[in-house]
Chains A and B, each alone.
Chain A
Amino acid sequence: MSAFTFWLAVAGAGAITFALRLSFIALMGRIKIPVLLSRALRFVPAAVFTAVVIPLLFYVDGAVEVSFGNERLLAGVAAVLIAWRTRSVPLTLVGGMVVLWMLQLMGIGS
């Protein structure tokens, strides 16, 4: 790929991403947000974060794997419990990583 094509793609990607980010922030105040949309927005955090997490925990090499051999799923469950009990970001990050490393040392997964 030529340098020109590369920068063309990057400029386009940057413009698209910025437009997506700005979309509703810019529209707000100019148009009236429908009631249904504002009701729906309350569910965005729970829905998106779950949608990001689930494939990262359940999918191994492109397929769902629910077993004690899936160490990321086990460490993820531990992290959910830690997050639920402590509500602490650092504890969740450290706890999740430590559980994963322990499982790997025990030879679970891989």
Chain B
Amino acid sequence: MTTTISKPNKSTISPGTMRSRGAEHLGRGRLRSGDIALDPDRSFGEGNPSRGRAFVAGARTIVPVLLALLPFGLAFGATATGNGLTAVQALGMSVFVFAGAAQLAAVPLLSAGASVAIVLLTVLVINLRLTLYSASLAAHFGRLPAGWKGLLAYLLTDQAYAATITPFDEGETDESDKRWYYLGVALAIWVTWQAATMLGIVLGAWASEGWSLDFVLPLIFIAAAVPAIKDRTTGAASLSAGIAALFCGALPLNLGLITAALVGVLGGLVAETVLGRSWR
């Protein structure tokens, strides 16, 4: 497989565009209207074929991450039924909440008969990081119609954010294709999560034991973190988040994650102010 983190949507860039030097000034993947005629693929099909291509490119980029998500979903399905939830209840959580870490944390609380307020507070704290993703993606989705915003927001996960923010921020994806690229990534994740949940329900605890497959979770985030460190200031953000995470790891309710993330953002801002923008 040749999928790379830095240029996952290479296939959305037509050979015709690459030949024209002028288009490169507009950023990777941005097409000028005149370039469309150069691309033989675009003369076929109906409507806007670049949407379909962006969707497929997104879905293709995420395939290795899907394989890594599988054991995580299996673990949830197995844990849920192991804790006495019915199959419908387990699947219902995956559909309505659709957030792995929060689901895994909520299951033992639910089965132990914790109050609804405790469950909701736990879910709130664990998922607070999603607001950071939302803010980060708002620059790209902020102008879409409400229905699109709702759909894309429902499908927002760590993995969908990790796979799309770098190409979006670096201007590698054409503005009107962003939603389709994201949808390709996020829908593939959604389908995989539901399928893995069902498999976990069927296979039970047997599915999640051995092989240390839970280790793919940190590996996904390592693969996302490394290209996110682009210069000294993002390096400072990562370093301060990392140090904070070492100290905050034992905080209750998973509060360490959001605390360390905010310390990291602050560290980046401080570095940018001290070093000045020229030091990037």
Asked, given contacts A21-B130, A51-B245, A93-B68, whether A100 binds B223 with beta carbons under 8 Å apart, the answer is: no
Query: A90 an interface residue at 8 Å Cβ cutoff?
Result: yes
- Residue among A14, A37, A55, A62 with most chain B CB within 10 A: A55
- Residues of chain A with a CB closer than 8 A to B234's CB: 42-43, 45-46
Q: Is the CB of A49 within 8 A of B135?
A: no
Give the contacts of B17-37 with A (CB-CB under 8 A): none
Q: Is the CB of B116 within 8 A of A12?
A: yes
Q: Which of A8, A12, A72, A90 contacts B215 (CB 8 A)?
A: A72
Give min CB distance, A38 to chain B, whole Å: 8
A52 to B240, CA, bound (A): 13
- Residues of chain B with a CB closer than 8 A to A52's CB: 158, 218, 221, 257
Q: Is the CB of A50 within 8 A of B97?
A: no
- Residues of chain A with a CB closer than 8 A to B246's CB: 54-55, 58, 64
Q: Is the CB of A18 within 8 A of B153?
A: yes
Give the contacts of B239-280 with A (CB-CB under 8 A): 239-242, 244-246, 249-250, 256-258, 260-265, 267-269, 272
Q: Is the CB of A44 within 8 A of B132?
A: yes
- Residues of chain A with a CB closer than 8 A to B132's CB: 41, 44, 48
Q: Which of B5, B123, B227, B249 contacts A54 (CB 8 A)?
A: B249
User: Interface majority SS on A: helix, strand, loop or mixed?
Assistant: helix
Query: B191 an interface residue at 8 Å Cβ cutoff?
Result: no
A49 to B138, CA, bound (A): 19
A56: nearest chain-B partner, CB-CB: B218
Size category, A interface: 35 or more
Q: Is the CB of B257 within 8 A of A10?
A: no
Binds A, one of B47-55, B98-106, B201-209: B98-106
Q: Which of A49, A62, A97 contacts B225 (CB 8 A)?
A: A49
Q: Which of A7, A21, A50, A87 contacts B264 (CB 8 A)?
A: A50
A70 to B216, CA, bound (A): 16
- Residue among B65, B212, B258 with most chain A CB within 10 A: B212
Q: Is the CB of A88 within 8 A of B216?
A: no
Q: Is the CB of A24 within 8 A of B138?
A: yes
Query: A106 an interface residue at 8 Å Cβ cutoff?
Result: no
Asked, given contacts A42-B268, A79-B219, A89-B65, whether A22 binds B116 with beta carbons under 8 Å apart, the answer is: no
Asked, given contacts A6-B89, A21-B156, A93-B68, whether A53 binds B222 with beta carbons under 8 Å apart, the answer is: yes
Q: Is the CB of B138 within 8 A of A51?
A: no
Q: Is the CB of B219 within 8 A of A46?
A: no
Asked, given contacts A23-B135, A104-B212, whether A47 binds B222 with beta carbons under 8 Å apart, the answer is: no
A12 to B122, CA, bound (A): 12
B67: nearest chain-A partner, CB-CB: A93
Give min CB distance, B143 to chain A, whole Å: 6
Q: B98-118 toward A: CB 8 Å interface, digit per residue (1/0)?
A: 110010001000110100100
Q: Is the CB of B119 within 8 A of A87?
A: no
A14 to B1, CA, bound (A): 36
- Residues of chain A with a CB closer than 8 A to B218's CB: 52-53, 56-57, 72, 76, 79, 96
Closest 4 CB pairs of A and B: A47-B264, A28-B142, A43-B268, A14-B96
**Told that A47-B260, A87-B226 touch, could you supply 15 new A-B pairs with CB distance under 8 A?**
A13-B97, A13-B120, A21-B154, A22-B149, A25-B152, A33-B138, A43-B233, A45-B161, A47-B241, A49-B238, A51-B260, A55-B256, A64-B249, A87-B4, A89-B4
9 A–B contacts, CB within 8 A, in A order:
A10-B89, A43-B234, A43-B237, A50-B237, A54-B249, A87-B6, A89-B64, A97-B213, A104-B212
